[in-house]
Structure formats: structure tokens, C-alpha cells
């Protein structure tokens, strides 16, 4: 398990772009499970949508990418530095199954599918309880600035 202090060591993101609150389990080289507590105080809710607040799908995918990044660094046995950045290379088969609303707790799951020449491919899912909210295949890489 990782608390927010340790998560901050593995991700360069900070409020309002830090979208992982806790890591429940991490099996380096295989899989990770984390959570994002969705609060009405999130800055995006004031504009998306004022009459019916819904977490933007792109931010759900970003949260999945962030847990995937933690898994990558844990697998490699190192932490990111100020000379590199973790980028999306591709997002395939993204599907959104249910809206994510204030008060929901997103369970973020990512599994390493493969790693070739510095490109990581993950199968990722976001759930609310047992209900699938979103899923996608993500490709990411670390590049020097």
C-alpha cells in the first residue's frame, strides 16, 4: 500500500492534476490497484457540468495513466527525475460505461501487457464498486526533456 506521501515521490503531478489518492496494491512487473476519491470540490465540476456534475472522461483516463506510471517506476525500481517526463504514446479502445459523479470512489486498475523498446502497454480499468466506469489500452513512455 502507498499513501499520498509516497505517491508524490513517484508522480510529478500536483493539485489539481494529481488524480491518485492511494495505492491499495502493487505487484511490480504485473499489476496495480489505486483509488481516486471524487469530491464535489474538484475544480472541473464547476464547468462540467454545473447542472449535472460529471468527471470528464479524459481525466478518468489520466488517472489510469497515473497509476500505470507508478507501476512502471515500481517495476524498474526507480523514481522519476526532473530530467524526464512520462508521456502518453497511445490510447486505444477507450470505452466509458457509466458517469463518474461527486462522491464516487474510482478503483483504478492497470495491468502490464508488454514492454518493448521503452514503450509500455497497459490494460486499464476504472470501477465504482463492481461497476465498470471506463476501460482503455494505454501506451506510455519515459522521455528525457
DSSP 71-96: HHHHHHT----TTEEEEEEEEEEEEE
Domain spans of the chain, in order of start: 4-144
CA gap 45, 51 in Å, rounded: 10
The answer to whether the beta carbons of residues 75 and 112 sit under 8 Å apart is yes
Tens of pLDDT, residues 7-63: 999 999 999 999 999 999 999 999 999 999 999 999 999 999 999 999 999 999 999
The predicted pLDDT at position 144 comes to 85
- Give the whole-angstrom CA distance, residue 143 versus residue 100: 32
Instruction: Tell me the pTM.
Output: 0.97
Q: Quick one: which of 35, 139, 24, 9 has its CA closest to 86?
A: 139
Bridge-based pairing of strands 105-116 and 119-128 is antiparallel
Cα 127 off chain centre by: 12
Q: Is 52 a catalytic residue?
A: no
CA separation for the pair 101, 122 (Å, rounded): 25
Residue 84 pLDDT class (50, 70, 90 cuts):
confident
Quickly state the pLDDT bin for 108 (edges 50, 70, 90). Answer: very high
Would you give the DSSP letter of residue 134? E
* Enclosing H/E stretch for 130: none
For domain 4-144, the CATH superfamily is Hotdog Thioesterase (3.10.129.10)
Residue with more model confidence, 74 or 84: 74
Amino acid at each position: 500500500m502507498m499513501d499520498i506521501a509516497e505517491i508524490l515521490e513517484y508522480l510529478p503531478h500536483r493539485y489539481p492534476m494529481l488524480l491518485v489518492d492511494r495505492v491499495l496494491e502493487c505487484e511490480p512487473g504485473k499489476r496495480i490497484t489505486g483509488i481516486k476519491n471524487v469530491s464535489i470540490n474538484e475544480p472541473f465540476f464547476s464547468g462540467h457540468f454545473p447542472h449535472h456534475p460529471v468527471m470528464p472522461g479524459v481525466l478518468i483516463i489520466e488517472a489510469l495513466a497515473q497509476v500505470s506510471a507508478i507501476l512502471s517506476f515500481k517495476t524498474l525500481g526507480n523514481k522519476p527525475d526532473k530530467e524526464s517526463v512520462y508521456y502518453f504514446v497511445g490510447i486505444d479502445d477507450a470505452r466509458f460505461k457509466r458517469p463518474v459523479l461527486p462522491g464516487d470512489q474510482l478503483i483504478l486498475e492497470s495491468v502490464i501487457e508488454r514492454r518493448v523498446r521503452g514503450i509500455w502497454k497497459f490494460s486499464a480499468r476504472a470501477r465504482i464498486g463492481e461497476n465498470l466506469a471506463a476501460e482503455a489500452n494505454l501506451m506510455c513512455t519515459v522521455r528525457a526533456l
